[in-house]
Amino acid sequence: FATPWHISEAAIESLEKGYTMYTSNLGMPELRQELSRYLKNNYNLEYDADGELLITVGVSEALDLAMRAILDPGDEVIMPDPCYVSYNPCVVLAGGTPIMVPTNEQNNFEISAADIEARITSRTKAILIGYPANPTGAVMSRDKLSEIAEVARRHRLLVISDEIYAKLVYGVEHTCVATLPGMKANIILLGGFSKAYAMTGWRIGYAAAPREIIAAMTKIHQYTMMCAPTMGQVAAIEALKSGEDSATEMVKDYNRRRMVMVKGLCDIGLSCFKP
C-alpha cells in the first residue's frame, strides 16, 4: 500500500511551512504526547512523554540503541530462530552473544518459557522477542507470554519486545508484553508506524522503557542520528490522530491476500504455516 494520503499531506504541508529543522533528540513533543495517549488508550500503559519515550529512525534503530545501551561485551541475549534478520547482528555489533532458540511449524514457531530457561546463564542479560513475528507470522497467546514474563522476572532479565506488527493480526488478539503483571519496569517496548500505516519509507519508530534506559539510548541516538526525520514525525502525528480507519482497511485486504496465498500453496502440496 501507499501511505494514506492524509498522512502524506500532513508532511507535505509541514514542508511548505518550513518545518525542516532538527527536533529534540527525544522527538517532537507533540508526537511523544500523542504516542503516550495511544499507549494509554490501547493498552492502559502510562509512559511519560518527557523521559520514557524516544522517537527513533524506525524500529531497527530502536533495536540497535537498546542493545548498545544495555549490553556489556559477552552478555547474552536469548531469542527465537527464525527471527527478524536484524536481531542477531544488532546483538553482535553491540558486543553481545545471540543465543538462539529453534522454533518450527510443529510448535507454531513459538518460543517457550522452558526453552528460554534452559539457556539462561550467568551472562544472560535479556530476552528478545518479536510477536507477531517476522518472518513466520506467529502470534503468541497471553498465557504463553505470561510464562516467559515469569521467567524473566524470576531471573531478573530485561525483555525487549518488538511489536511493530501489533495491528496485523487475524482472528486472534495481540498481547502487549508490557501489560503483563510486573513487566513494565523490565521491558523495552519497541513499535513504529511502518507496517500498520504503510509508512515503511518514512523511518519512524519508538522505544518505550524506564527513564534510565531511555536516557542511555538517547545518548547514543544523539551522536548517531541526532533525531528522526522531522517530516516523518509530522506524518506519524497524523497517523496517530486519524489513521485508524486506513489501518483497519489495509488489514482487511492483507487478510484476503493471506487466505489466497495459503490456499494456493496448500493446493500445490506445500506445507504452509497459516500466519
Q: Which of 245, 79, 40 is nearest to 162 (CA)?
A: 79
Please, are residues 133 and 105 in contact by the beta-carbon 8 Å criterion? no
User: How far is residue 168's CA from residue 203's CA, in Å, rounded to a whole number?
Assistant: 18
Q: What is the DSSP string of 45-114?
A: ----TTTSEEEESHHHHHHHHHHHHHPPTT-EEEEEES--TTHHHHHHHTT-EEEEEE--GGGTT---HH
Compute how many other C-beta atoms are within 10 angstroms of the C-beta atom of residue 229. Answer: 18
Boundaries of every domain in the chain = 5-243
Q: Mean pLDDT for each 10-residue chunk of the chain (275 residues)?
A: 98 97 98 98 98 98 98 98 98 99 96 98 98 96 98 98 97 96 96 97 98 98 97 98 95 96 94 88
End-to-end Cα distance, the chain: 19
Output the pLDDT for position 248: 95
Grid cell listed for 162? 518488538
Cis status, amide bond into 4, omega within 30 of 0: no
Q: How many CB atoms lie within 10 A of CB 153?
A: 16
The CATH number of domain 5-243 is 3.40.50.1010: no
Whether the Cβ atoms of residue 53 and residue 27 lie closer than 8 Å to each other: yes
pLDDT at 271 (0 to 100): 85
The pLDDT of residue 269: 93
What predicted TM-score, i.e. pTM, was given to this entire model?
0.96
CA 104 to chain centre: 22
pLDDT of 272 reads 87
